[in-house]
């Protein structure tokens, strides 16, 4: 019998209900994001879908994790609106949030530490001495919950226009090694959170533009684990891989956008859920998507895990 259910959301892309802040959009990278919003994203992201997903995740889980891109352009109004939505959910269930590239859209957002300012309440870990004081917040952020050690990482860094890649950096990866070696973590099943995909079969040029540039280094750190979950977003699709390690294998799973209107169940708005038994073994992996009525959420099959060479 499962003792811990984790709901996994990603890529909320929250927009301010008060509209754009033009003086903060013009003459910087945000103008390209806003153009994309007008061209496509504004038509396919539904606020009512997001409301249904947040409500269902809060009702069906013991802990909710959000793997980045909670905002669309990291505008202050968007950050405030996203915080308000997550605060409402946190009144029902514990929430952990890590940033995505859209949450640190500009260097000024990172330098101003806007993400930890708004979402620091969701990043209060149990092993603060092992966390780095990064501009995005305290990472790795570790929460020890029953059979799971939930470990939040930040792959979000400011990038030039038309570049959306992420990077963990050597200091954070070294801190992750120390976290994984900690006795309280080692006796639990690690659940690692980040925004960018740790598995990417594309050519190096595409990884540098849109992927996790030090994914190979992350996998080298994780290769000592016998089991665990690595959860991410960014791809706007539900994907699942089995990543062999020296001691076993990890489940590497991506969630789609939490507000995305799309006919295919691998893409449509929803969340994933993961049930852990008392011994830390994985009892169930499920996907939940917005139903045709747009107000309820129904269960669908998550793709079978594909082996990573």
pTM above 0.85, yes or no: yes
Which 3-state string (H, E, C) describes 130-149? HCEEECCEEECEEEEECCEE
**What tokens were used for 188?**
């639990």
The pLDDT, as a whole number, for residue 36 is 57
Q: Which alpha helices (DSSP H) does 22-159 contain, by range?
A: 30-36, 42-44, 47-60, 76-90, 107-111, 114-119
pLDDT tens sequence across 110-144: 999 999 999 999 999 999 999 999 999 999 999 99
At 172-214, the pLDDT tens digits run 999 999 999 999 999 999 999 999 999 987 777 788 889 999 9
Specify the DSSP element, H or E, that contains 231.
strand 229-232
- The total number of structural domains that make up the chain: 1
Nearest to 261 by CA among 72, 100, 45, 17: 45
Q: Is the pLDDT of residue 151 over 80?
A: yes
Strand pairing of 282-290 and 270-277? Answer: antiparallel
| Residue 289, domain CATH | 3.60.21.10
Q: Give the domain extent around 217.
A: 2-307
CA–CA separation, 209 and 103 (whole Å)? 17
Rounded Cα gap, residues 217 and 69, in angstroms: 23
* Per-range mean pLDDT, top range of 151-155, 293-297, 302-306: 151-155
């Amino acid at each position: 019998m499962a003792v811990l259910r984790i709901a996994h959301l990603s890529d909320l892309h929250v927009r301010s209900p008060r509209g754009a802040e033009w003086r903060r959009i013009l003459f910087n990278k945000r103008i390209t994001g806003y153009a994309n919003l007008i061209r496509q994203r504004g038509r396919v992201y539904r606020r009512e879908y997001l409301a249904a997903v947040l409500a269902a995740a809060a009702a069906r889980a013991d802990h909710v994790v959000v793997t980045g891109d909670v905002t669309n352009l990291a505008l202050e109004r968007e950050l405030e609106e996203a915080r308000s939505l997550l605060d409402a959910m946190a009144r029902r269930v514990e929430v952990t949030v890590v940033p995505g590239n859209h949450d640190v859209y500009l260097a000024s957002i990172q330098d101003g530490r806007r993400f930890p300012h708004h979402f620091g309440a969701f990043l209060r870990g149990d092993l603060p001495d092992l966390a780095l004081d990064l501009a995005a917040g305290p990472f790795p952020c570790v929460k020890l919950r029953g059979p799971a050690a939930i470990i939040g990482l930040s792959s979000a860094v400011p990038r030039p226009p038309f570049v959306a890649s992420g990077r963990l950096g050597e200091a954070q990866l070294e801190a992750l090694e120390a976290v994984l070696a900690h006795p309280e973590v080692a006796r639990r099943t690690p659940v690692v959170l980040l925004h960018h995909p740790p598995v990417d079969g594309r050519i190096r040029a595409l990884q540098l533009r849109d992927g996790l540039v030090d994914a190979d280094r992350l996998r080298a750190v994780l290769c000592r684990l016998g089991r665990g979950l690595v959860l991410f977003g960014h791809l706007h699709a539900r994907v699942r891989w089995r990543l062999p390690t020296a001691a076993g294998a990890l489940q590497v799973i991506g969630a789609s956008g939490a507000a995305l209107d799309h006919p295919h169940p691998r893409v449509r708005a929803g969340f994933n859920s993961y049930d852990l038994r008392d011994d830390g073994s994985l009892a169930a992996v499920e996907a939940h998507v917005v139903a045709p009525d747009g107000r309820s959420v129904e269960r669908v099959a998550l793709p079978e895990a594909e082996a990573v060479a």
